[in-house]
């Protein structure tokens, strides 16, 4: 059964929808992706048009797939590259359940888009008392390993945002999850490297 968080949210960003000339890129993620979206837009302008879906929903929530279809809608959008992350929410899921749902998500995206797909590992969770040795970060590590397994199965590239962000406490906000502007810019630079490679 789907377990909901106290706050459930979803943000859509649709840029220059009438423009069919430039390549179109889609970011799918959570608040981390929402934060690095703006620097990604700045780094890619004016070469591409950018869409985004950032959501708190776990992949066990059917609303997630309703929202995903809204932003994928092949009648409206023809994406060239999709960058996907979902791993910091739905803490009730086991690693194996997460893997099965990630496979379902990848298949759903591939059914509804011909875009190249990149999987992005979730960023680390830091706690002042225990640093990275905490339950939340252990869950991130386990899920990231499952994402790597899914990527290998579907022959997809993996953007390792975990290693990039690990150990950079000066770029982290006090909640141990989110990043200051410089942290989001660092992540955006690597996201753009993967997007550019796929576009080429």
Full set of structural domains in the chain with CATH: 10-199 (3.40.50.1110)
Among residues 59, 48, 39, which one has the least CA distance to residue 82? 48
Q: Is the dihedral of CA 66, 145, 157, 151 positive or negative?
A: negative
Residue indicated by tokens 């706690």: 127
pLDDT of residue 184: 98
Question: For the purposes of burial, counting CB atoms within 10 Å of the CB of 196, is it exposed (0-12), middle (13-18) or buried (19 or more)?
Answer: middle
pLDDT of residue 1: 60
Helices (H), 27-160: 31-44, 62-72, 95-112, 135-154
pLDDT of residue 38: 96
Full-model pTM: 0.96
- What are phi and psi for residue 196, nearest 5 degrees? -65, -40
HSE-up (13 A, CA, CB side) for residue 87: 31
pLDDT of residue 7: 87
Six token digits for residue 105: 């998500």
pLDDT of residue 119: 98
Six token digits for residue 119: 């999987």
Cα distance between residue 20 and residue 99, in whole Å = 35
CB 40 within 8 A of CB 50: yes
pLDDT of residue 200: 87
Encode pLDDT of 6-20 as tens digits. 889 999 999 999 988
Number of CB atoms found within 10 A of residue 18's CB: 6
pLDDT of residue 191: 98
CB 25 within 8 A of CB 195: yes
Regions of the chain short of the pLDDT cut 70: 1
């Amino acid at each position: 059964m789907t377990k909901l968080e106290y706050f459930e949210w979803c943000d859509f960003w649709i840029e220059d929808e009438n423009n069919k000339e430039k390549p179109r890129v889609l970011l799918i993620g959570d608040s981390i992706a929402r934060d690095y979206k703006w620097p990604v837009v700045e780094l890619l302008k004016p070469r591409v048009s950018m869409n985004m879906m950032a959501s708190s929903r776990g992949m066990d929530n059917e609303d997630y797939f309703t929202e995903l279809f809204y932003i994928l809608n092949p009648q409206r959008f023809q994406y060239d590259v999709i960058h996907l992350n979902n791993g910091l929410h739905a803490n009730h899921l086991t690693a194996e359940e997460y893997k099965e749902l990630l496979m379902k998500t990848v298949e759903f995206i591939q059914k509804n888009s011909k875009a190249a797909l990149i999987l992005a590992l979730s960023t680390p969770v830091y706690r002042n008392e225990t640093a990275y040795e905490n339950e939340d970060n252990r869950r991130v590590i386990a899920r990231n390993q499952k994402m790597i397994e899914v990527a290998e199965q579907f022959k997809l590239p993996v953007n390792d945002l975990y290693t990039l962000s690990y150990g950079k406490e000066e770029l982290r906000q006090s909640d141990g999850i989110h990043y200051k502007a410089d942290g989001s810019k660092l992540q955006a630079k690597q996201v753009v490297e993967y997007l550019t490679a796929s576009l080429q």
